[in-house]
Structure 1
Amino acid sequence: MVQNYENNQSRTRKGNKLPLAMVSGALVGAVVVLAADSEERRRLKSGSSNAKHKVSDYATRVKEDPQGVKDDWLGRIQSAASITKEAVQKIQEILDEQGSQIKESAQDIQHESKEMIETAKDAGEELQSVGDKAQEAKEELSSDNETNETEETTITDINDKK
């Protein structure tokens, strides 16, 4: 049991090295890119400077008027929430309207499908009666051939006897 605990601890330590290795690799890659590309260095420096100024300005605003910043954020959040609520209502209206249209279309398709099935059944019954007539005609022709063969045999037999 103690051995299992020690194995788990060593696996945990090995598992913790992966994120460290990934971060280290990313930093080394960033340093290589910055060392090789002066334009990238200038862009990064400019972006960092802009971010620093924005954070500094925001911190100054918060120090000067914390309640105003809070009210501004709350107003923005409430505005975003009301816009989101309106969007959700509009989506629901569209879904309701389209859903009813889809339901009507499905009912129409179902009705037309039933009519097509009935028509196909009627056609099948008519074809069956035609098939029965064809079978009857075939049997009639077959019986005529048998009668003719019998008559020919009789005539041949009579000729042979003469």
Structure 2
Amino acid sequence: MEQNYNQNQNRRRGNKLPLAMVSGALVGAAVILATDSEERARLKNGSSNAKHKVSSYATRVKEDPQGVKDDWLGRIQRAAAVTKEAVQKIQEILDEQGAQIKESAQDIQSESKEMIETAKDAGEELQSVGDKAQEAKEELAHNNDAEETNVTDINDKK
């Protein structure tokens, strides 16, 4: 029982927040309107224009309800048709661009494969050059060993 009472109290307090917000907004608007003559004039003109448009529209509806209905239906149908065309155009663009992107991706993939193969070939050729350089180094080392042996033999003979 006491819990229900507390919940009701909380709901009442919670319901006061929107009322306080609206009240604060109205007080703020009243202060602005009271201090700013240009804002008052703008609000007065805007309200007058809105009132005139609403009354004009209401008069048209009273005079010719079917005509207003047909006018609105026509506008809605034209807007739907334009929207449908726009959606179709967007879909065409997406399809076309998607095909081009797919084609470009395939081109990039094939070019990447070619680049990888070229790099592998270059690596193999560089390995071959490295092997030749190693042979040349070994040959020079072998020749130096032979010369040192000859120099040593000559020195020993002296």
TM-score range, shorter chain: 0.7 to 0.9
- Counterpart Cα distance in 1 of 2:143 and 2:13: 98
Name the stretch that deviates more: 12-21 or 69-78: 12-21
Q: 1:45 to 1:135 in 2, by over 3 A?
A: same
Gaps of 5+ in 2: none
Q: 1:131 to 1:54 in 2, by over 3 A?
A: same
> Which position in structure 2 is the counterpart of 1:83?
82
Q: 1:29 to 1:148 in 2, by over 3 A?
A: farther
- Counterpart Cα distance in 2 of 1:17 and 1:39: 33
Shift of 1:126: 0.3
- Counterpart Cα distance in 2 of 1:49 and 1:121: 81
- Counterpart Cα distance in 1 of 2:60 and 2:138: 105
Q: 1:138 to 1:18 in 2, by over 3 A?
A: farther
Q: 1:116 to 1:46 in 2, by over 3 A?
A: same
State the TM-score, normalizing by the size of structure 2. 0.84
Percent of matched pairs sharing the same residue: 80
Q: Which amino acid aligns with 1:22?
A: M
Q: 1:141 to 1:74 in 2, by over 3 A?
A: same
Name the stretch that deviates more: 91-100 or 67-76: 91-100
Shift of 1:68: 1.2
Shift of 1:11: 4.3
> Which position in structure 2 is the counterpart of 1:25?
24
Gaps of 5+ in 1: none
- Counterpart Cα distance in 2 of 1:151 and 1:111: 60
| Equivalent pairs, count | 158
> Which position in structure 1 is the counterpart of 2:99?
100
Aligned positions of 1:31-50 closer than 5 A: 31-50=30-49
- Counterpart Cα distance in 2 of 1:9 and 1:154: 117
